[in-house]
Amino acid sequence: MEEEKKSVTEFAKQHPDVLREAGTIKYASIATYSLDRKSPLPIKYTVSIGGSGKPVYAEIDVSRSGGSATFVLRCVTHLEPGRRESFKDVCAQ
């Protein structure tokens, strides 16, 4: 799972939407992740990114097929995980 965390962090750092919001990236790390009930592997990641602008959070979904993971950026938000409303889609807040 550590290798996947590195991969999803790199995916976020290189995504054009993230770069547009964050500016020059200074750091990126996994802030949170959600596990699938059927598997011990994550199905969602929140990547915290600090750049030349305000800190941003990349919300990334994971799909799996044949042992490999594919990442899809859902949205980029400035709303940190501790300030989000429960049970609401973070991308709509």
| pLDDT at site 25 | 93
Beta bridge partners of 51: 25
The whole-angstrom distance between residue 69's C-alpha and the CA centroid of its chain comes to: 14
In a domain, 89, yes or no: no
In a domain, 92, yes or no: no
40 — pLDDT class (breaks 50, 70, 90)? confident
The per-residue pLDDT for range 6-34, each reduced to its tens digit, is 999 999 999 999 999 998 999 999 999 99
66 — pLDDT class (breaks 50, 70, 90)? confident
| pLDDT at site 80 | 85
CATH code of 63's domain: 3.10.450
Percent of the chain with pLDDT over 70: 100
No. of H helices and E strands in the chain?
2, 4
Range of the domain at 27: 2-82
In a domain, 76, yes or no: yes
CA distances in angstroms from 63 to 52, 68, 81, 93, listed in the order given: 31, 8, 22, 24
| Count of residues making up the chain | 93
Residue 65 CA to residue 83 CA, distance in Å, equals: 33
What is the pTM for the complete model shown?
0.87
Beta bridge partners of 35: 42
**Total domain count, the chain:** 1
In a domain, 48, yes or no: yes
